[in-house]
């Protein structure tokens, strides 16, 4: 049980801090709510439902690149534990493995996976829905049935 004690203490401290922050701000902050203040936005139409969260596909791409290295770690960690017993054979196999992962990384970089600048469009443009007044108005009006 003894080696787990620091973890338990850390867990306790973390929970204490989280609870303390909430309780502290609840006690200390002044509370004078009005209708206007508790509305989600201070101007414009009151939204009927939560807006669809949109964020760039690029984030998925970064997450996927991360997974490549994640997988590498899964194998590197057990290898590191028995590094001495495996000797040169283990090292050479691991180098081969790392090279394979690295080649895929080179491929990603060459295809612009890590370009964070403004979006460049290569080749053929994707067909994109025409946004006109009718489509926009229809979208707002039929908001509830679309949900």
Partner 1 sequence: MSIPGSWFLTLAAVLFSVGVVGVLVRRNVIVMFMCVEMMLNAVNLTFVTFARMLGDIGGQVLVFFVLVVAAAEVVVGLGIIVSIFRRRVGATADDLHLLRG
Partner 2 sequence: MNSILGLISTGPKIVFPSISYKAIGPEIILIVGALVIMLISSLAPSLKRTKAIGAMAFAVTAIALIDSIVLWSNFVSHGASRAIASSIVLDGFAIFLMITISSAALLSVLAGEAYLSRSRIGRVEYHCLLLLSSAGAILLASAGDLIVVFLGLEILSIALYVMAAFEKRNQLSGEAGLKYFILGGFSSAIFLYGIALTYGATGTTNIQKIASFLATNTVTSNGVLLAGIALLIVGLGFKVAAVPFHLWTPDVYQGAPAAASGYMAAVAKAAGFAGLLRILITAFPTQRLDWQPIIWGLAALTLVVGAILAIVQSDIKRMLAYSSINHAGFVLLGVAAGTAGGVSGSLYYLIAYTFMVIGTFAIVNVFEDSDTGVVPIERLRGLARTNPALALFMAVLLVAQAGAPLTTGLLAKFSVIAATVKAHSYILAVIAMLSAVIATFFYLRVVAVMYSKVPQDKVSESPIDDEEVLVFASGGDGDLGSFDRPEGDLAVLAPAKVAVARSLRISTEAKIVVGISILFTVGFGIFPNPLVHMADLAKLLF
Q: Are 90 and 82 in contact (CB under 8 A)?
A: yes
- Cα 25-31-32 angle, rounded to 5 deg: 165
122 binds, among partner 2, partner 1, none (CB under 5 to 8 A by kind): none
Q: Does 40 bind partner 1 (CB under 8 A)?
A: no
CB of 64 to partner 1, least distance (A): 5
Give the separation between CA 102 and CA 76, rounded to whole angstroms. Answer: 14
Question: Interface with partner 2 by CB under 8 A: which range of 12-20, 32-40, 42-50, 122-130?
Answer: 122-130
Q: Does 120 bind partner 2 (CB under 8 A)?
A: no
For 114-120, the CB contacts below 8 A with 24+ separation are 114/65, 116/58
Binding site for partner 1 (CB under 8 A): 52, 57, 60, 63-64, 67-68, 70-71, 74-75, 78, 126-127, 129, 146
């Amino acid at each position: 049980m003894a080696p787990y004690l620091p973890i338990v203490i850390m867990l306790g401290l973390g929970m204490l801090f989280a609870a303390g922050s909430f309780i502290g701000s609840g006690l200390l902050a002044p509370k004078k709510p009005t209708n206007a203040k508790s509305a989600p936005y201070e101007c414009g139409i009151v939204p009927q439902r939560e807006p669809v969260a949109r964020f760039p596909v690029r984030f998925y791409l970064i997450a996927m690149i991360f997974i490549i290295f994640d997988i590498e770690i899964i194998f590197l960690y057990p290898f590191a534990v028995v590094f001495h017993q495996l000797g040169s054979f283990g090292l050479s196999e691991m180098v081969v493995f790392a090279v394979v992962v690295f080649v895929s990384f080179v491929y990603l970089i060459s295809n612009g996976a890590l370009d964070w600048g403004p979006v460049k469009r290569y080749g053929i443009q994707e067909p994109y829905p025409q946004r006109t007044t009718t489509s926009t108005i229809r979208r707002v009006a039929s908001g509830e049935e679309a949900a």
